[in-house]
């Protein structure tokens, strides 16, 4: 009850601040700091409250962000959300380090067959299902109604690829909170991470093919596809170098590792963004290293190819609670409820269709891969959440196809918003059912 009372008190206080009581509305700098502090405290309290009802804590973090964000209470205005984008990227980089560190090479080798089956069925099954669903229902989607066949085919292909995307950050948060460990968790995490990397390459192919279909005089841009491959390979190589640097620091110094990790994550995020801007501004070259893939690779390298893997993961776990609160509360504040209101019907149908195709594909891959029946039944509930990469790709979609891309991006963002709200709940349910959720409270709460 103390947490409920505390949450009510700070909500009332922020309501008074927003109303301009006491002259706070004229202190813009103080208002922004106060809003950010409110977001973190409210998210922590609401996450703790919802955990009493067996909801995952990150659901509370996201809901707190939605309530505080510009589309509900406006305690956190849109300009503040945009201004905190760097912190959002920093938190995602730390989560990616942790995700890579959770992948043990020995476990991947043991479950390589099951992971490969899972990736293959998820990619083919979900893409094919959504592609056919868009074609069948194109007359009920406003921006595709009466559209020429090339546009319908292009939109169906790109939305199909975006539907494949997962949310490694959500998966890592639930695994950390539940202290989950076992074959089901390792297989799910391996499939999630591999698919999230594949989506980047598949999206590049889909956009290039869509341009060729919509404009017959345009050929599939091989240079574009090659540049995407170079971006992925470059990100992996930088990740290996980064992992070696972190291992060297641990071996040589070892002090204040959480601070060093935060600084490293900041440098990766800042460098990838500034390097892309430099090439675009001075050489008109669009080349962007993927900080998420870089950090995943670094964490994987440290865990599996150095002697400091366990030490690294234990120290990284100390950062998990504040990082998850920061990242998912900002995710909630960024969820575009206006887009959801505009396209809620087709977005909801896409959510239902995507969930069905995910569950069917996961069940088939589980049965063919030799998983226990309960694993096959629960696997589909683990892949619902979406965020991160898929939201970034939506922006590219809007810019690549001026005629219909923006409308398609709005619908996909609405679908992602729904999936991000329900995905953590279904994944926690799956972990409970398979018996691999070993903790009811976050490891760092004590």
- Please check the confidence at residue 335 and state whether its pLDDT lies above 90: no
Does 442 fall in a domain?
no
**With pLDDT > 90 as the criterion, what percentage of the chain qualifies?**
21
Q: 108 pLDDT band (50/70/90 cuts)? A: confident
The mean pLDDT value for 248-264 works out to 85
Domain count, the chain: 2
- Domain boundary, last residue among 19, 54, 83: 83
Q: How confident is the model at residue 28 (pLDDT cuts 50, 70, 90)?
A: low
Letter string b/e over residues 33-49, b meaning 16 or more CB atoms within 10 A of that residue's CB: ebbbebbbbbbbbbbbb
Look at residue 222 in the predicted model and tell me its pLDDT. Answer: 64
**291 shares a domain with 244:** yes
Residue 416 in this model has a pLDDT that exceeds 80: yes
Coil, helix or strand at residue 180? coil
Q: At what angle do helices 183-214 and 149-164 cross, to 10 degrees?
A: 160
* The last residue of a domain, from among 83, 105, 136: 83
- Segment 63-79 mean pLDDT: 86
Residue 104 sits in a domain of what CATH number? 1.20.1530.20
pLDDT, position 139: 87
The residue with greater pLDDT, 222 or 110, is 110
- 3 state SS of 97: helix
- Whether residues 41 and 135 fall in one domain: no
| Residue 231 placed within a domain | yes
130-157 per-residue burial string, b: 16 or more CB within 10 A, e: under 16: bbebbbeebeebebbeebeeebbbbbbb
Higher pLDDT pick, 176 / 287:
176
Q: How confident is residue 354, by pLDDT bands cut at 50, 70 and 90?
A: very high
**Res 245: pLDDT:** 92
Asked whether residue 118 falls in the same domain as residue 78, the answer is no
Q: How confident is the model at residue 443 (pLDDT cuts 50, 70, 90)?
A: very low
Instruction: State the pLDDT at residue 217.
Output: 55
Residues 270 and 229 in one domain: yes
| Structural domain for 314, as ranges | 85-434
Average pLDDT over residues 124-138: 93
Whether pLDDT at 152 is above 70: yes
């Amino acid at each position: 009850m103390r947490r409920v009372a505390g949450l009510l008190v700070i909500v009332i206080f922020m309501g008074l601040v927003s109303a301009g009581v006491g002259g706070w509305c004229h202190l813009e700098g103080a208002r922004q700091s106060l809003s950010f502090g409110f977001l973190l405290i409210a998210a922590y309290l609401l996450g703790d409250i919802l955990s009493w009802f067996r909801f995952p804590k990150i659901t509370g973090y996201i809901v707190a962000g939605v309530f505080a964000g510009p589309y509900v209470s406006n305690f956190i205005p849109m300009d503040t959300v945009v201004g905190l984008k760097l912190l959002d990227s920093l938190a995602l980089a730390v989560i990616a380090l942790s995700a890579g560190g959770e992948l043990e090479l020995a476990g991947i080798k043991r479950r390589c067959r099951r992971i490969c089956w899972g990736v293959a069925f998820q990619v083919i099954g979900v893409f094919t299902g959504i592609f056919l669903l868009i074609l069948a229902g194109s007359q009920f989607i406003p921006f595709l109604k009466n559209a020429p066949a090339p546009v319908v085919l292009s939109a169906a292909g790109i939305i199909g690829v975006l539907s494949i995307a997962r949310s490694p950050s959500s998966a890592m948060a639930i695994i950390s909170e539940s202290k989950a460990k076992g074959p089901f968790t390792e297989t799910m995490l391996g499939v999630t991470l591999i698919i999230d990397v594949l989506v980047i390459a598949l999206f590049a192919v889909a956009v290039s093919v869509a341009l060729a279909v919509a404009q017959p005089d345009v050929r599939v841009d091989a240079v574009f596809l090659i540049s995407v491959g170079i971006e992925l390979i470059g990100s992996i190589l930088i990740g290996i170098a980064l992992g070696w640097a972190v291992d060297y620091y641990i071996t040589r110094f070892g002090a204040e590792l959480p601070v060093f990790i935060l600084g490293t994550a900041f440098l990766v995020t800042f460098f990838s963004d500034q390097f892309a801007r430099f090439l675009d501004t001075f050489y008109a070259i669009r080349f962007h290293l993927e900080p998420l893939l870089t950090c995943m690779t670094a964490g994987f390298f440290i865990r599996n190819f150095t002697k400091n893997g366990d030490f690294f993961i234990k120290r990284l776990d100390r950062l998990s609670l504040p990082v998850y609160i920061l990242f998912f509360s900002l995710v909630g504040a960024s969820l575009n409820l206006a887009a959801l209101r505009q396209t809620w019907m087709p977005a909801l149908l896409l959510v239902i269709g995507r969930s069905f195709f995910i569950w069917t594909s996961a069940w088939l891959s589980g049965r063919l891969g030799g998983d226990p029946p309960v694993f096959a039944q629960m696997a589909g509930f683990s892949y619902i959440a979406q965020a991160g990469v898929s939201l970034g790709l939506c922006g590219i979609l809007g810019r690549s196809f001026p005629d219909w891309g923006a409308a398609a991006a709005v619908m996909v963002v609405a679908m992602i918003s729904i999936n991000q709200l329900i995905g953590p709940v279904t994944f926690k349910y799956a972990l409970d059912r398979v018996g691999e959720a070993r903790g009811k409270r976050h490891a760092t709460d004590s």
